[in-house]
Structures are given as structure tokens and as C-alpha cells.
């Protein structure tokens, strides 16, 4: 399970020596008050850490270098309580490799009309101090999030919280290792990509392993460990009576063996995400289904058919959504329901690998044949998904940049039963409707594989895109095809001009 309380966001207050010690002491006292308020707020899942007020270029540079070197620092929140001439920030900000958020706030909510004087004006001048700081961020072309409002406002805390989740995902991504068993399935294009570019952008490493190494790990699993895991299955899920039959039970034990071998392999190789492909399963008795589902539920990123970009995205979104209500899963737009009356729906599912964190009830453990692949019948969890807002996100390699494409959707309950559908599935109404959503998605080159989430928000993903310097496109209630296509053309031009990797 992923915890965000290990991470720190450093709160940096800028000033200068002009105002004297007394003012600087007051600046520090006020900043500490804001820090302790934000640190205790439930919107913000990471620790907010007060840093001594900075007043000169050397202090700023050394603080930025400390942030770079701190293994748990996800980034900085910068705020100018007073005026802080921004030339002193050039060195530090230029060397900062962690993301930063510019909080444009003010300690006092209201002007004390009866006692306001020039001392008050000098102490509380973020209204222009933060503009000076904003200029240097833009002048240096630095990606950052600007949050405006009084620090006690709910929207300010929520925006900081969203950013802190994205920054946590980025820090995690920088040390993430992804295991690939086999290459991309067949000749699929959209699941391909440049792994060097991905490592430059996101930090994660993609490691290829022969499936034989996994088979060896699966072969080392002890029978007693399988006994214990099968008991966990029986206690955790609804188990049909057919599964208790000798033949099926042997297949369930095989699924447990694969899970234990895969889990151990990922632990030994320090991998937080992985891919499989049913084209390359030599020596594995079943396509890993239940194993992928349960590993995803524990926070691992997963992509089927060699899709390492989606595996990495699922992992990042698992980190972003940690502790929030709702889950995150690998997903695929599978088939449509287009009634003459009523909104068109998408049936999302996959061969097997849908994460039970999005299940609306206790998943049912079943074993069924796989109609393609020619392997033994694999075990899988079957369930449907709770209704409500959700989103699908996909990451595309456009050749000169990565594009993060998001579609907000509404998960709906349906009355019909699907007794012959042997996989977990979800119905959603894409926003604003299927026509505009799919038209825009296809023009944007969006994949059939996505990371689906009922926990992660568009804001968090946009923050993540901003701090990794990638393109981000959103299809939501307000999308109109003409404007969306125009945005695609403008982005094509602007990224064509930008330096890429």
C-alpha cells in the first residue's frame, strides 16, 4: 500500500534585509502559522515543512540544492510575504529540479482600516512581492502552479493538496522501475514509445526480462505458501461452488503460484509496475489474471500487452490517489452500447486485468476459458463498478513529446445482467457524450488502453503534466470538437518549436 505521509513539501518564504530584523521575525512567525495550518489540513496528504525565511541569493541557492538532494522532498511552496527582489532567485530556481508551487496569498484577510500605516504596508506586500516573483518564473520559462487566495480558503488548500499528490507521484516516478515480460503484443502501435524519452521526462526505468526468469520464480514457490494464499482468496472473495471442484481448484492453486512468483520477482527486482503479454507466456501455465488484479490493488502499476506507458501511468495515478475514496485501474474501451433512445455508453473491461479497488461489491472469484491465447483457463475476479464521476487517462508518444489525454466520464448502473460475461466490467457515459468524446479522442490519437480512476482528478493530472513538461488535453463537459481540433493544431505548432527529447 502507498502512503504519502513519508513525503515533505517545503514551505519557502521570500523576503529581503531592507525591512530590519523585527519585520523578518514577524514574517517568520506568520509563515510558521500558515505552515502549521496547512500541515494539519486533510486536503494535503504530505508533510508541510517550514523553512527559514530566505533573504539572499546564497541562501536561496543552497535551499534549492538541499531540496534537490532530499529524498523525501516532493517540491517547494514559495510565497513572498514582503518584496523579495527576484534577481536573487535566478540561481536557485535555475538549479531546482523539484517542482514548485507559487502560493499567492496574504497573511491578513482584511485591511485593518483604523491602524493601517506604512509599517503594515511594508510587512504585508505580497500583492506586489509575488508579482515580482511571478515575473522571474515566467522569464526563466519555469513550469509551476500558481495558487491564489487567502491561505485559509478551502479552494486554496484543495489546489495545494492536488499539486502535492501530483508531486508525490513525480517523486515516486523518478525512482520507479518497470518490469516488462516480453515485448509489445503483435504489431500494436499506440503501446509503443521511446523509453529513453520517457526516462528523461518521468525518471522511471523500463527493464525487459525474459519470461523464463519469471517462470523460474514461479517454479520456486512452495506448496505451503500456495495453501496460505488460497485461504486468503477464499476469505476475501465470493467463491463459486464450481471452483471447489478438484479440477478447477488445481487451476486456482496455479493462479496462486503465479501470483506468489510474480510478486516475489517484482520485490527482488524492486519494480513498482509491470507488463505482461499473452503472446509471450512460454512456461507459464495461465495468463496472469488474478495476480495482476491483486498486485494492482496493492498499488502496482500494470499494463497489458507490453504497454509500459500505461503501467507507469497506472502507478503514478495509484500514488496520486492514495488514501482517497475510489480506486484506479488499468482499463480498455471494449465495446459500445448505443440505444436509439438514451445516451451511448462504453463498456470498459479487459481480458482479465481490472483492479478490484474499483469494485462496488465483494468480487467473485471465477475460472473460465480464455477464448484466445491457447493457455489453461485462468482465474480472475469478476465485479462491476460503483456509479459516479470518473476519468480515463492515456499517455501517448507523439514522436517529439508525450501527450496526456484525459476524458471525464460518468459511471452508470445498468439494470441488465450479463451472465455470460466472465470479466470485471464498467459502464460509463463519456463526457460530454460519446460523439464528442470519441471524435476528440480519436483526433488526439488517444489509445484504447487507459488508466481509469474514481479517485484521481483532472486537476491532479494537469498538475502532473505541468511539472513533467508534457502536453495535456482534457475532454470534458465543455469540450467542443472545433475548438478541440484547433487546440490540437496549435499544440502541434508550439511543440514543433520547442526543444524536445
Give backbone dihedrals phi and psi of 466, rounded to 5 degrees, phi first.
-60, -45
Least distance between Mn ion and beta carbon 185 (Å)? 8
> Cβ 350 to Mn ion, closest distance in Å?
6
Q: Which is nearer to Mn ion, 167 or 304 (by Cβ)?
A: 304
Residue closer to Mn ion (CB basis): 158 or 188: 188
Site for Mn ion in 287-306 (CB under 5 A): 304
Q: Which residue in 27, 30, 23, 29 sits closest to 14, CA to CA?
A: 27
The secondary structure of residue 136, as a DSSP letter, is H
How near is the Cβ of 199 to Mn ion at its closest, in Å?
Answer: 24
CA-to-CA distance for 29 and 10, rounded, in angstroms?
16
**For Mn ion, which is the closer residue by CB, 8 or 332?**
332
Question: Is there a contact between 394 and 409 (Cβ–Cβ < 8 Å)?
Answer: no
- 130 or 332: CB nearest Mn ion: 332
Shortest Å distance, C-beta 330 to Mn ion: 9
Q: For residue 235, how many other CB atoms are within 10 A of its CB?
A: 8
Cβ-based nearer residue to Mn ion, 77 or 287 = 287
DSSP strands (E only) in 244-320: 273-275, 301-303
Rounded to a whole number of angstroms, the minimum distance from the CB of residue 334 to Mn ion is 9
- Number of residues near Mn ion (by CB under 5 A): 2
Pick 35 or 304: Cβ nearer Mn ion: 304
Angle between helix axes 246-268 and 290-297 (nearest 10 degrees) is 50
Least CB distance to Mn ion at residue 178 (A)? 17
d(CA 158, CA 261): 41
**Interface of this chain with Mn ion, residues 300 to 359, rule: CB under 5 A:** 304, 332
92 in Cβ contact with 140 (< 8 Å): no
Q: How far apart are CA 103 and CA 129, in angstroms?
A: 12
The 247-286 site mask, x for binding Mn ion (CB under 5 A), equals ----------------------------------------
Question: Could you give the strand order of the β-sheet that contains 364-367, starting from the edge strand earlier in sequence?
Answer: 238-239, 364-367, 379-382
Give the nearest distance from C-beta 353 to Mn ion in angstroms: 9
User: Nine-digit cell at 124?
Assistant: 504585508
The residue among 239 and 347 lying less far from Mn ion, judged by its C-beta, is: 347
Q: What SS3 class is residue 256? A: helix
* Residues forming the site for Mn ion (CB under 5 A): 304, 332
Amino acid at each position: 500500500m502507498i502512503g504519502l505521509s513519508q513525503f515533505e513539501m517545503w514551505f519557502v518564504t521570500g523576503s529581503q534585509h531592507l525591512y530590519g530584523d523585527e519585520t523578518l521575525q514577524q514574517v517568520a512567525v506568520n509563515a510558521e502559522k500558515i505552515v502549521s495550518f496547512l500541515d494539519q489540513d486533510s486536503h494535503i496528504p504530505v508533510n508541510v515543512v517550514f523553512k527559514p525565511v530566505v533573504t539572499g541569493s546564497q541562501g536561496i541557492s543552497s535551499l534549492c540544492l538541499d531540496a534537490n538532494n532530499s529524498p523525501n522532498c516532493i517540491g517547494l511552496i514559495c510565497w513572498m510575504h514582503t518584496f523579495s527582489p527576484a534577481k536573487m532567485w535566478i540561481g536557485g530556481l535555475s538549479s531546482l529540479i523539484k517542482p514548485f508551487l507559487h502560493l499567492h496569498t496574504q497573511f491578513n484577510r482584511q485591511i485593518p482600516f483604523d491602524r493601517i500605516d506604512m509599517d503594515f504596508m511594508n510587512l504585508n506586500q505580497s500583492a506586489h512581492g509575488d508579482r515580482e516573483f511571478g515575473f522571474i518564473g515566467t522569464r526563466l520559462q519555469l513550469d509551476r502552479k500558481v495558487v491564489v487566495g487567502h491561505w485559509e480558503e478551502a479552494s486554496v488548500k484543495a489546489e495545494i493538496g492536488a499539486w502535492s499528490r501530483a508531486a508525490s507521484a513525480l517523486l515516486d516516478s523518478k525512482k520507479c522501475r518497470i518490469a516488462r515480460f516480453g515485448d509489445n503484443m503483435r504489431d500494436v502501435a499506440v503501446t509503443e514509445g521511446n523509453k529513453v524519452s520517457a526516462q528523461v521526462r518521468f525518471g522511471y526505468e523500463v527493464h525487459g526480462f525474459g519470461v523464463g526468469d519469471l517462470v523460474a520464480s514461479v517454479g520456486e514457490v512452495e506448496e505451503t505458501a500456495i495453501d496460505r494464499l488460497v485461504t486468503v482468496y477464499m476469505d476475501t472473495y465470493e467463491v463459486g461452488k464450481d471452483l471447489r471442484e478438484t479440477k478447477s481448484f488445481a487451476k486456482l492453486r496455479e493462479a496462486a503460484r503465479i501470483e506468489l512468483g510474480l510478486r516475489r520477482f517484482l520485490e527482488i527486482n524492486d519494480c513498482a509496475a509491470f507488463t505482461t503479454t499473452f503472446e509471450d507466456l512460454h512456461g507459464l501455465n495461465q495468463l496472469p489474471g488474478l495476480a495482476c488484479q491483486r498486485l494492482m490493488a496493492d498499488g502496482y502499476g500494470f499494463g497489458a500487452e507490453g504497454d509500459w506507458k500505461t503501467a507507469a501511468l497506472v502507478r503514478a495515478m495509484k500514488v496520486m490517489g492514495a488514501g482517497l475514496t475510489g480506486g484506479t485501474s488499468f482499463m480498455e474501451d471494449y465495446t459500445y452500447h448505443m440505444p436509439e433512445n438514451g445516451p451511448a455508453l462504453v463498456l470498459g473491461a479487459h481480458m482479465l486485468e481490472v483492479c478490484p479497488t474499483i469494485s462496488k461489491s465483494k468480487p467473485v472469484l471465477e475460472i473460465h476459458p480464455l477464448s484466445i491465447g491457447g493457455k489453461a483457463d485462468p482465474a480472475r475476479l469478476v465485479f462491476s463498478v460503483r456509479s459516479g464521476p470518473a476519468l480515463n487517462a492515456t499517455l501517448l508518444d507523439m514522436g517529439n513529446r508525450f501527450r496526456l489525454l484525459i476524458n471525464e466520464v460518468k459511471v452508470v448502473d445498468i439494470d441488465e445482467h450479463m451472465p455470460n460475461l466472465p470479466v470485471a466490467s464498467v459502464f460509463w457515459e463519456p463526457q460530454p457524450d460519446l460523439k464528442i468524446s470519441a471524435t476528440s479522442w480519436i483526433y488526439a490519437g488517444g489509445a484504447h488502453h487507459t488508466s481509469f480512476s474514481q479517485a484521481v482528478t483532472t486537476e491532479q493530472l494537469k498538475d502532473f503534466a505541468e511539472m513533467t513538461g508534457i502536453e495535456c488535453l482534457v475532454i470534458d463537459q465543455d469540450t467542443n470538437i472545433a475548438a478541440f481540433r484547433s487546440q490540437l493544431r496549435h499544440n502541434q505548432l508550439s511543440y514543433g518549436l520547442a526543444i524536445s527529447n
